[in-house]
């Protein structure tokens, strides 16, 4: 059988559609297969990120924050308003319109770059063949020199809280809620749980986050985690750590959750709605034929090397379906890397410099190593911390919660990490990601002229503080 394509991409989320576009730009005959259907049953591109993930959740986060700001934050600026209300259906419809615009935009990008698009369910066979069962039931078998798997991830289900689509929902179902719950329970206080909790907390729900872990946000720098927990608690979110859910019971439109603390003491609480956000798992269901030659690792991810090559020749995998953080931007860059390597280029990704963001308000953002990781590795480092409460720009905006923390190597001054909770943290941390990519040290940032007044000056002051030279706060005594 002769080959049909140079490249077949399975999955049209941020990793897949970017890989397909870049491959086509490089002159490779490319097709992208996507199984996602919208509410009307039509095939759409964009994967989890555009349809039920990054984009719709940010739409709701921004809408809910504007409501909260209008209701609770404008008086300090001398602005008076009448009674404030929100139309949740309109808010959800706006979210859906944004989704439609972006997913339609991908179709336009495919056409502009010469990428063929096929909607259906793909299965990888041996010999670089892909069987596709299209939405109309028709089957096709395609072949290619190279296949890129970008099937993404899905929410993890837990037996004690079965999703029923009404009183118990997962992160996708949570995006379709059109009535504010009086009391909302969330299992899990990770990124998704905190973002969804923020939305409904702002809209008037009593939000309780039930977290099995002993530490809050255990994967981030713990100084930032503690500051973040303090801020969210002040906002009204009830975060209960060391609480493992043991049972749920649905009664009418309510759901009762039973959980145990670390001492084994049992508590039950009733909610109008329960959201299950305990993480995500790689999506490989029905994807691989037994003789495909592609191996999975112990986590159920597709096993790949540093260049995203699988154990089957000519088959690559990128994004959430492989090792590493499940981040859309990480997957997109892997998609570009693989497309360029297929075309003969030697592109690499620096996995040590991938920013991570929680889009609450204030935002939480990080790049590089945490202080805990450096302690465990026995590395010598210095730390500079600067609070937003000392920023003139933050004061002017009435947005002073949070801190910037910069960590640098003691001997070389090279920046090892930057961790922020505060306004515009996602954009501020990117400055340091760029600096780290070029091997900058804290002094390079300290010597750079920052515009005044800006939030970016907090990053500048944190860099100055690494060496005890901060101007707008007292410096900590340095070890001799």
Alpha-carbon dihedral angle through residues 293, 294, 296, 300, given to the nearest 10 degrees? -130
* Alpha carbon distance 42, 45 (integer Å): 10
* Alpha carbon distance 390, 443 (integer Å): 21
Q: Residue 181's Cα: distance from chain center in Å?
A: 25
Distances (CA, A) of 96 to 45, 78, 86, 99: 14, 34, 17, 5
**3-state helix/strand/coil string of the chain:** CCCCEEEEEECCCHHHHHHHHHHHHCCCCEEEEECCECCCCCECCCHHHHHHCHHHHHHHHHHHHHHHHHHHCCHHHCCCCCCCCCCHHHHHHHHHHHHHHHHHHHHHHHHHHCCEEEEEEEEEECCCEEEEEECCCCEEEEEEEEEEECCCEEECCCCCCCCCCCCEEEHHHHCCCCCCCCEEEEECCCHHHHHHHHHHHHCCCEEEEECCCCCCCCCCCHHHHHHHHHHHHHHCCEEECCCEEEEEEEECCEEEEEEECCCCCEEEEEECEEEECCCEEECCCCCECCCCCCCECCCCCECCCCCCECCCCCEEECHHHCCCCCCHHHHHHHHHHHHHHHCCCCCCCCCCCCCEEECCCCEEEEEECCHHHHHHHCCCEEEEEEEHHHCHHHHHCCCCCCEEEEEEECCCCEEEEEEEEECCHHHHHHHHHHHHHCCCEHHHHHHCCCCCCCCCHHHHHHHHHHCCCCCCCCCCCCCC
Residue 139: beta bridge partners?
133
Contact 174, 33 (CB under 8 A): no
Q: Which member of 135, 419, 452, 460 is catalytic?
A: 452
329 is annotated as an active-site residue:
no
Active site residues per annotation? 452
């Amino acid at each position: 059988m002769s080959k049909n394509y140079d490249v077949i991409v399975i999955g049209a989320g941020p990793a897949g559609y970017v890989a397909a576009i870049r491959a086509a730009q490089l002159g490779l005959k490319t097709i992208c297969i996507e199984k996602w259907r919208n509410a009307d049953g039509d095939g759409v591109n964009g994967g989890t990120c555009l349809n039920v993930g990054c984009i719709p959740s940010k739409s709701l986060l921004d809408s809910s924050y504007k409501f909260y700001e209008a209701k609770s934050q404008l008086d300090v600026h001398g602005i008076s308003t009448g009674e404030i209300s929100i139309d949740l259906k309109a808010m959800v419809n706006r979210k859906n319109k944004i989704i439609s615009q972006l997913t339609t935009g991908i179709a336009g990008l495919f056409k502009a770059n010469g990428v063929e698009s096929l909607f259906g369910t793909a299965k990888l066979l041996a010999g670089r063949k892909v069987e596709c069962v299209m939405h109309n039931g028709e089957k096709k078998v395609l072949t290619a020199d190279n296949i890129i798997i970008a099937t993404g991830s899905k929410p993890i289900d837990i037996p004690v809280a079965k999703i029923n689509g009404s009183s118990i929902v997962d992160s996708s179902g949570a995006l379709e809620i059109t009535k504010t719950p009086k009391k909302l329970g969330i299992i899990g206080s990770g990124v998704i749980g905190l973002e969804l909790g923020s939305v409904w907390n702002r809209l008037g729900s009593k939000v309780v986050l039930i977290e099995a872990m002993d530490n809050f946000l255990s994967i981030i720098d713990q100084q930032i985690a503690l500051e973040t927990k303090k801020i969210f608690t002040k906002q009204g979110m009830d975060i209960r750590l060391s609480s493992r859910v043991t049972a749920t019971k649905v009664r009418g439109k309510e759901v009762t959750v039973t959980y145990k603390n670390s001492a084994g003491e049992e508590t039950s609480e009733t909610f109008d709605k329960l959201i299950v956000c305990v993480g995500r798992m790689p999506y490989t269901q029905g994807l691989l034929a037994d003789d495909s030659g592609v191996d999975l690792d112990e986590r159920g991810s597709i096993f790949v090397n540093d260049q995203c090559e699988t154990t089957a020749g000519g088959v690559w995998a990128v994004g959430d379906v492989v090792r590493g953080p499940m981040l859309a931007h990480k997957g997109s860059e892997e998609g570009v890397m693989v497309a360029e390597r297929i075309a003969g280029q030697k592109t690499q990704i620096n996995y040590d410099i991938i920013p991570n963001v929680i889009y609450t308000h204030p935002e939480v953002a990080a790049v590089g190593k945490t202080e805990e990781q450096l302690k465990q590795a026995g590395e010598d480092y210095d730390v500079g911390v600067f609070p937003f409460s000392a920023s003139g720009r933050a004061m002017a905006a009435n947005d002073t919660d949070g801190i910037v923390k910069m960590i640098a190597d003691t001997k070389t001054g090279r920046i090892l990490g930057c961790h922020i909770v505060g306004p515009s943290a996602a954009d501020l941390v990117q400055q340091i990601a760029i600096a780290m990519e070029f091997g900058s040290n804290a002094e390079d940032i300290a010597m750079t002229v920052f515009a005044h007044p800006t939030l970016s000056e907090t990053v500048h002051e944190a860099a100055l503080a690494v060496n005890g030279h901060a101007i707008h706060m007292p410096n900590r005594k340095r070890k001799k």
